Amino acid sequence: MRNALNNLADTVENPDHQQRFENEMDSFFALFRRYLADKASGSTLDWEKIKSPSPNEVVQYNSLNESAATNLSKLAVLKLNGGLGTSMGCVGPKSVIEVRDGNTFLDLSVRQIEHLNRKYDADVPLLLMNSFNTDNDTAKIIKKYQGHRIRVKTFNQSRFPRIYKDSLLPVPDSYDDELDSWYPPGHGDLFESLVQSGELDALLAQGREILFVSNGDNLGATVDTKILDHMIETGAEYIMELTNKTRADVKGGTLINYEGSVRLLEIAQVPKEHVEEFKSIKKFKYFNTNNLWINLRAIKKLVEHNAIEAEIIPNQKTISKGNVDINVLQLETAVGAAIRHFQGAHGVVVPRSRFLPVKTCSDLLLVKSDLFFLEHGALKLDPTRDGFANPLIKLGSHFKKVSGFQSRVPHMPKILELDHLTITGNVTLGRGVTLKGTVIIVCNDGDKIDIPNGSILENVVVTGNLTILEH
């Protein structure tokens, strides 16, 4: 492997790219060696040693002190912006999908921080960690924020070579080999990339101490000065926002106490015979929202000492080379798994409203609906819905792509009193539709269901054929 990586480095013609590429290959080689060592030693967690976190390792949000927002000069915000919108049928970065009132994910993030800066006369910067998949498009898009009261900086995470599953050698033959020979190695790469890019030192030079990190598609991840103040008061180097697990979140990573220290436990690490126990809401009450508050000096120190060893997630993929399908591996790490390396690290159990991810068009229906209203770029839940869980929405394959969703749901239904919605098949919703209780609409292959304008559906199952002709 080392020889193969050296050969790849020899194919870099541009001297400006040479050093960065060599650094990336060194980082990849360290990850690969660790993967082989873990595989050889079979280093898995001993289930009997896994305990629920102690009270001082998980703090309730409502126990935090009120905030006067005096620490914003110490804060920077980072959005993970490496993902494409392909799973929702879109081209380009996921962050440019329109989610609400003509605003994209990125627009909403910018509006939130701009409002914060205006309200408190602050200068909180926004950083975007791009991948090689999203960097060029993002660079063009952020030009439109130049006149805004916000500094937007971008940097790239690493580009690592995929490896053949059988030989464990790199797929690319040269530095400029086609894109599917490479991969961005998960958001655990944040620490290394932040240091290598020079952005971490730049933030420290500005007096920034704390980085608030979240997924670009989590619309609930807004700056919360109570958590910021709590972090400074306690001197914690790392805070993970947790929220109560529901039946919809049973696969989410959870915080545990393992041999006296805090760790993140992901479902991939759980032995098969204990998976049901892991999913239990009784033993593991909370899950990781991936809203993280991390001390910048601690990151710098750990990276300089090569001390961050987050659990490796081997992700199997199939790519086409020529006309042949080839099985490959990409070795990834998650930013949450690094929690065990930081001093005073703990979880804060936050309201569910801080976890509003948009992974599918079912999620998109929720955030576009009358359940929420927009306030300074942040989505706020309608007060009448306070204290209730969000409705469970399951849209079928006809709604998988944003284009299909938009053509079938051109007008958002009213869902303030909805508990559960399932729609499958060739279904279109008219204007001014209201859905209440449990609504199930099932359209068989070859049939078509048009829900008429102004319909009120409450606790019903709709099947068969229904076409309304306007005249």
Residues placed in the known binding site for substrate: 187
Exposed e or buried b per residue across 11-23, where buried means at least 16 C-beta atoms within 10 angstroms of its C-beta = ebeeeeeeeebee
Which of 226, 359, 400, 436 is labelled catalytic?
A: 359
Residue ranges of the binding site for UTP:
94, 157, 186, 217, 359
Q: Sheet harboring 261-265: ordered strands across?
A: 50-51, 254-258, 261-265
Cβ proximity of 96 and 85 under 8 Å: yes
Both tokens assigned to 307: 């001390």
Both tokens assigned to 184: 């961005």
Cβ proximity of 108 and 378 under 8 Å: yes
Residue 90: C-alpha distances to residues 70, 95, 145, 182, 251 (Å) = 40, 11, 23, 21, 26
Contact residues for 434 (Cβ-Cβ < 8 A; gap 6+):
413, 414, 415, 417, 455, 456, 457
Phi, psi dihedral angles at 108 (to 5 degrees): -65, -40
CA distance 450 to 270: 45
Phi, psi dihedral angles at 469 (to 5 degrees): -105, 120
Report the Cα–Cα distance between both ends of the chain, in Å, rounded. 70
Phi, psi dihedral angles at 131 (to 5 degrees): -115, 175
Both tokens assigned to 331: 């070795």
Q: At which residue do the structure tokens 């605003």 appear?
A: 103
Q: For residue 443, what is the DSSP state?
A: -
Q: For residue 93, what is the DSSP state?
A: B
Residue ranges of the binding site:
94, 157, 186-187, 217, 359
Look up 359 and say whether it is catalytic.
yes
Q: For residue 277, what is the DSSP state?
A: H
DSSP 226-242: HHHHHHHHHT-SEEEEE
Phi, psi dihedral angles at 391 (to 5 degrees): -60, 150
Short-list 355, 353, 367, CA closest to 99: 367
Both tokens assigned to 444: 């068989």
Q: For residue 249, what is the DSSP state?
A: G
Residue 471: C-alpha distances to residues 193, 289, 468 (Å) = 60, 49, 10
CA distance 350 to 59: 9
Active site residues: 359
